Amino acid sequence: MNADFSRTLALLRQEKEISQRKAAADLGISQALLSHYENGVREPGLAFVKKACDYYHVSADYLLGRTLDRDGGMIDAESLHESSDVKGTLRGIHFQRGDKAQAKLVRCARGAVLDVAVDLRPSSPTYKQWVAVELSEENKRQLMIPRGFGHGFVTLTDHVEFLYKADNYYAPEADGGIRWNDPELGIDWGVTDPVLSEKDTKSPFLKDAVTGFEDW
């Protein structure tokens, strides 16, 4: 099995919001063995793979990291994957407005990125504060982006594969953005002339943006 299997197995359980103990019981194995599977310590047999696919309602190819199509899962495949061939590519700052807001669990499956989350909730004591974390295929870190936060990343290497899972459907009518270099936020991306999409070059500054988080 590859590392994608272990990560996906753990992420599917977390997405389902169940404990490792309960998932192990439902799958008919010990919690210790499930922990080994989720951490890549041991490799499961085909019987377990089939049972896990049925339990999480995904295809074997998805569980094994061969495809992003989970066959019946909540999140559309297009909202799970971004790729870039060029170092210094920046995406963000993105969010969905109001009740269409998404929480995201993000990771980098290939290459490395600097991942950024910024609090966009005016009533929050951490409003306009941001965090930046390096995610890479080597460190295998993940970052949870709560609802009410903006999200973006800049690629630190060529040939990046960036994956994320969200707790709400993509809603194009609620799609929002803030300029990556907004002086009010002062995010240190580590780049001064990034590669941007046309969409991101046209994003407004925070003072002009409608986030839908004003009453949060």
Q: Cα–Cα distances in Å, from 65 out to 10, 56, 60, 61?
A: 13, 14, 9, 6
Q: What is the mean pLDDT of residues 103-121?
A: 93
**Same domain? 92 vs 12:** no
Pairing of strands 149-155, 160-166: unpaired
Domain of residue 192 covers: 77-208
- What's the average model confidence in pLDDT over 76-80? 45
Clarify whether residues 57 and 109 are in a common domain: no
Considering only 40-49, 60-69, 90-99, 144-153, which range has the smallest mean pLDDT? 60-69
Q: Does residue 26 form part of some domain?
A: yes
Q: Evaluate if residue 192 carries a pLDDT over 70.
A: yes
Residues with Cβ within 8 Å of 116's Cβ and at least 6 positions away in sequence, in order, are 92, 93, 130, 131, 132, 151, 152, 153, 154, 187, 189
User: Do 143 and 203 share a domain, yes or no?
Assistant: yes
Are 115 and 194 contained in the same domain?
Answer: yes
Q: Which pTM value belongs to this model?
A: 0.65
Q: Cis omega (within 30 of 0) on the bond before 93? A: yes
* Active site residue ranges: 94, 164
The pLDDT-based confidence of 169 (bands split at 50, 70, 90) is confident
Whether 215 is in a domain gets the answer: no
3-class SS of residue 135? strand
Alpha-carbon gap, residue 13 to 29, rounded angstroms: 15
3 state DSSP class of 215: coil
Name the pLDDT band for 80 (thresholds 50, 70, 90).
low
Per-residue pLDDT at 76: 44
Q: What are phi and psi of 77, to 5 degrees?
A: -60, -35
